[in-house]
């Protein structure tokens, strides 16, 4: 087989594997129970609405003793949901708690617990801050090792120089870390998963730029348009996948509006505030992250 033929076969295999990975991604909608109580491994988990406190709760108990009380949910039945899912494989299930705080565009907090001999917190979204990650948790076994990873939306750039509808929301991948005994950001490890399709998007922008005559505009607009959003989307996909240099090279070559320096400075400032970005590049946690983790 020629070298060209070998490359085509390898490319086809990779495409098939990626398609398989993408097809296996799923939400947790079918996991959350309709009732208010579940039992598993000697634990009892209940969800209630406490109108007088203006909240909904999830409580984990064992042997009649309350172990955990979560009160981030809005005072609505749908705002706190509980369910079991085999995140760590086929030998058992883990408890997933979803709490919606009640904001118009924010926020949903997820927590994952292992209900074993000892109650273990495998993931606490509140540690990253409700303004950092949110929206639906989607589970997928990206590397086919029998354990699920999950993705969440990075909210750090919501309303950044534009409306909510025009904002860009990168993806964060969380994977179980054996040494730490919990789920941690793993964007760099799964960069190929995060960058699927980004080359096609980048080429589309480059082609549009070649056919478009950009005229000088005001340095700052109340709402940026599609060019701003599409370029920022590609930039942040590269950045959050661990390909920061490639992302900025693309931005520098393809962002055509007059406020380029302002956008660049604003993005870099936001990135330094982002817990997922800091974890991706091995930067020390911010003071706010340390406070959230306590």
Distance (Å, whole) CA 93 – CA 117: 13
Q: What is the pLDDT of residues 42-51, one digit of tens each?
A: 999 999 999 9
* CA 112 remoteness from chain centre: 15
Residue 39 pLDDT > 80: yes
pLDDT at 15: 38
**Residue 239: pLDDT over 70:** yes
- Tally of CA atoms within 13 A in the half-sphere of 146 that contains its CB: 5
The per-residue pLDDT for 131 is 80
For the cut 60, the answer to whether the pLDDT of residue 8 exceeds it is: no
Tell me what percent of the residues of the chain surpass a pLDDT of 90: 72
pTM: 0.86
Q: Which run of H or of E encompasses 227?
A: helix 226-240
Instruction: List helix spans (H) across the chain.
Output: 3-24, 191-194, 198-211, 226-240, 244-254, 260-273, 275-280, 287-293
Cβ–Cβ < 8 Å for 56, 75: yes
Asked if residue 3 has pLDDT above 70, the reply is no
Q: Could you tell me what percent of the chain has a pLDDT over 70?
A: 85
Output the CA angle 221-226-230, nearest 5 degrees: 115
* pLDDT at residue 6 tops 50: no
- The arithmetic mean of pLDDT across residues 168-188, rounded, is 96
- The dihedrals phi and psi of 60, each to the nearest 5 degrees, come to -105, 125
**Which tens digit of pLDDT belongs to each residue from 107-136?**
899 999 999 999 999 999 999 887 888 888
Q: Which residue has the tokens 């565009």?
A: 105
């Amino acid at each position: 087989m020629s070298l060209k033929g070998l490359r085509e076969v390898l490319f086809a295999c990779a495409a098939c594997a990626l398609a398989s990975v993408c097809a296996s991604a799923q939400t947790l909608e079918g996991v959350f129970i309709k009732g208010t109580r579940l039992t598993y491994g000697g634990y009892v988990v209940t969800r209630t609405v406490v109108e007088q406190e203006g909240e909904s709760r999830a409580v984990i108990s064992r042997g009649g003793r309350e172990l955990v009380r979560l009160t981030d949910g809005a005072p609505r039945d749908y705002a706190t949901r509980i369910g079991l899912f085999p995140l760590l494989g086929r030998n058992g299930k883990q408890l997933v708690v979803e709490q919606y705080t009640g904001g118009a565009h924010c926020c949903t907090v997820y927590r994952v617990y292992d209900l074993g001999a000892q109650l273990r917190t495998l993931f606490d979204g509140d540690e990253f801050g409700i303004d950092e990650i949110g929206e639906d948790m989607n589970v997928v076994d990206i590397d086919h090792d029998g354990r699920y990873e999950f993705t969440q939306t990075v909210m750090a750039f919501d309303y950044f120089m534009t409306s909510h509808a025009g904002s860009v929301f990168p993806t964060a991948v969380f994977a179980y870390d054996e040494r730490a005994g919990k789920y941690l950001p793993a964007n760099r490890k799964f960069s190929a998963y995060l960058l699927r399709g980004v080359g096609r998007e980048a080429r589309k922008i480059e082609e549009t730029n070649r056919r478009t005559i950009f005229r000088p505009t005001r340095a700052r607009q109340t709402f940026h348009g599609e060019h701003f959003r599409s370029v920022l989307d590609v930039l942040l996909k590269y950045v959050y996948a661990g390909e920061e240099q490639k992302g900025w090279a693309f931005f520098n070559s393809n962002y055509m509006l007059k406020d380029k320096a302002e956008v660049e400075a604003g993005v870099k400032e936001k990135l330094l505030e982002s817990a997922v970005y800091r974890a991706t590049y091995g930067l020390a946690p911010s003071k706010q992250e340390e406070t959230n983790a306590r």
